[in-house]
């Protein structure tokens, strides 16, 4: 279960995601990419929780090396909130 602080930050990070033109616009929550071929976006919520998202495209945009081309991603699917 999320605490009050994590729930508040989740609301803020979801608002940031809605406002971003692309995932490259994100700065809050120390976004980083992980998973196979950088397929997941990880955003810190608080000291104990991370939000994980994936591109929500029928065919996700990829670069010439086959990695997710995050500047071209404009739809996300939240896949998990993980406790650290």
Q: What is the pLDDT of residue 21?
A: 83
63 pLDDT higher than 90: yes
| Structural domain of 77 | 4-83
CB-neighbour burial class of residue 52 (10 A; exposed 0-12, middle 13-18, buried 19+): middle
The number of folded domains in the chain is 1
2 pLDDT higher than 80: no
Q: What is the pLDDT of residue 53?
A: 92
- The more confident residue out of 84 and 64 is 64
Pairing of the two strands 76-83 and 49-55: antiparallel
Q: How far is CA 80 from CA 49, 62, 83, in A?
A: 10, 22, 10
C-alpha closest to that of 27 among 37, 17, 40, 18 = 17
Could you say which DSSP state residue 48 is in?
Answer: T
Q: What is the pLDDT of residues 13-62, one digit of tens each?
A: 899 888 888 777 887 878 888 877 688 999 888 888 999 999 999 999 99
CATH, residue 63: 3.30.2310
């Amino acid at each position: 279960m999320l605490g009050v602080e994590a729930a508040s930050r989740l609301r803020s990070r979801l608002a940031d995601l809605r406002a971003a033109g692309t995932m490259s616009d994100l700065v809050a929550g120390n976004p980083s990419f992980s998973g196979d071929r950088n397929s997941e976006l990880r955003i810190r919520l608080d000291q104990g929780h991370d939000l994980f998202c994936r591109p929500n495209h029928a065919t996700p945009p990829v670069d010439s090396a086959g990695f997710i081309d995050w500047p071209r991603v404009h739809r996300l699917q939240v896949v998990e909130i993980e406790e650290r």
